Amino acid sequence: MNCRCIQRALLRWFDANKRPLPWRTEPRDPYRVWVSEVMLQQTQARTVIPYFERWMARFPTVQALAEASLDEVLKMWEGLGYYSRARNLHRAARHVVTHYGGALPRAAEALRALPGVGRYTAGAIASIAFNQRTPVVDGNVRRVLCRLFARADDADIWALAESLLPEDRPGAFNEALMELGALVCTPRAPRCAICPLRRLCAARAAGTPEAFPAPRRSSSTPLVRVQTAVIVAGDAVLMGQRPAEGLLGGLWEFISSELRDPPQESLAMMVERRVGLDVSAAPATLLGETRHAFTHFRLVRTVWLLHLDAQPAPTRKHGYARVQWVRLDELPQLALTRSDRRVWHMAKDVMRAAP
């Protein structure tokens, strides 16, 4: 297949049809490209836009991000999910300030040495911000290329993406492939009739564009059950901060623990084990269940509301970096997971309705 025809058709279409996204301001700023590419992982552009604009208003430069506290960074990220992305951005910004004077390195290999920057992100920054001839392959690019060449699987897809890159405008070409996958060559019902590559596309010629690439065999995602205690005393609620490393690291949560199978640990035993408080005599109200889907598992939380008369100091912080009473009016300032925000809404509704 003629690479030049693909390049010309795709770039012409991109120039006329690309969305005016806030990270596409000219000249391209490497920091804005980097932040947008990290935010866009696993997240749609329309969701990312308000987060990106708030982030840039608060952390307009690598330097500003490096000087911020992790708590503030996580707070700005709250609701976007996959919080390791925010922690890695923060660590990488400090690395860039210390080792590169605040300017991102231009080469993909140097970019890949930064925390959280993999092959995809390094290729995107190097090509889009620095016009380097480096390929990118995300879900959209994979789908477009598999269809264009009628490939059932994505073996050698990176080499194929690299072979198609033009000498000039490699970054625009990468963005154009991603944009085509997002707007035209969609997973279901691709809009072949308006596609700039329709005359070159092998899957369309075969009459079965949706058959490419072949679906991956899905494995069932495991279910994790957690019990949660919203412990309220007067005008404060007891909160635990998760350790910086690991899933949802650095975020705050209501005192919780996974229920093993069979679930032998009572709520009071769990609270005792995690924070060293005896809540066995406190009245407990069942608030209900919340459900949340992560990439590798589904989470179901059973949520209880407990009222204490006083605010005893926690004597243990098993599995938490910090445990402390937080005033109810200060809770909105803490970085919580989306699931914990839902838990708080449930608790507030019941507390408001209480006589």
Q: How far is the CB of 142 from ligand SF4 (least distance, A)?
A: 12
Q: Are 338 and 79 in contact (CB under 8 A)?
A: yes
Q: How far is the CB of 174 from ligand SF4 (least distance, A)?
A: 16
CA geometry: angle 37, 41, 42, nearest 5 deg: 155
Residues in the chain: 355
Would you say 107 or 206 has its CB closer to ligand SF4?
Answer: 206
Q: How far is the CB of 185 from ligand SF4 (least distance, A)?
A: 3
Residue type, 66: A
Binding test (CB under 6 A) with ligand SF4, winner from 35, 111, 128, 148: 148
**Cα(27)–Cα(209) distance, rounded to whole angstroms?**
36
Active site residue 210: no
Would you say 125 or 203 has its CB closer to ligand SF4?
Answer: 203
Omega before 262 within 30 of 0, i.e. cis: yes
Would you say 210 or 330 has its CB closer to ligand SF4?
Answer: 210
Would you say 99 or 191 has its CB closer to ligand SF4?
Answer: 191
**Cα(10)–Cα(25) distance, rounded to whole angstroms?**
20
CA nearest to 174, candidates 126, 124, 130, 213: 124
Q: How far is the CB of 135 from ligand SF4 (least distance, A)?
A: 17
Residue 147 near ligand SF4 by CB under 6 A: yes
Task: List phi, psi (to 5°) of 300.
Answer: -120, 120
Q: Are 316 and 270 in contact (CB under 8 A)?
A: no
> What token pair was written down for 298?
């589904």
Would you say 191 or 345 has its CB closer to ligand SF4?
Answer: 191
Q: How far is the CB of 158 from ligand SF4 (least distance, A)?
A: 19
Q: Which of residues 316-355 bind ligand SF4 (CB under 6 A)?
A: none
**Cα(249)–Cα(95) distance, rounded to whole angstroms?**
19
* Residue 51 three-state SS: helix
CA nearest to 122, candidates 97, 88, 164: 88
Q: Which of residues 179-218 bind ligand SF4 (CB under 6 A)?
A: 184-185, 190-192, 195, 197-198, 201, 203-204, 209
Q: Are 267 and 229 in contact (CB under 8 A)?
A: yes
Residue 271 near ligand SF4 by CB under 6 A: no
Q: Are 184 and 148 in contact (CB under 8 A)?
A: no
Size of the site for ligand SF4 (CB under 6 A): 15
Would you say 207 or 262 has its CB closer to ligand SF4?
Answer: 207
Residue 6 near ligand SF4 by CB under 6 A: no
Per annotation, catalytic residue among 37, 78, 179, 253: 37
CA nearest to 178, candidates 212, 127, 214: 127
Question: Taking CB under 6 A as the rule, which mask of x and - marks residues 94-133 in contact with ligand SF4?
Answer: ----------------------------------------
* 277 CB neighbour count, 10 Å cutoff: 22
140-148, 321-329, 334-342, 343-351 -> range binding ligand SF4 (CB under 6 A)? 140-148
Would you say 47 or 186 has its CB closer to ligand SF4?
Answer: 186
Q: How far is the CB of 191 from ligand SF4 (least distance, A)?
A: 6
Binding residues (CB under 6 A) for ligand SF4: these are 144, 147-148, 184-185, 190-192, 195, 197-198, 201, 203-204, 209
Active site residues: 37
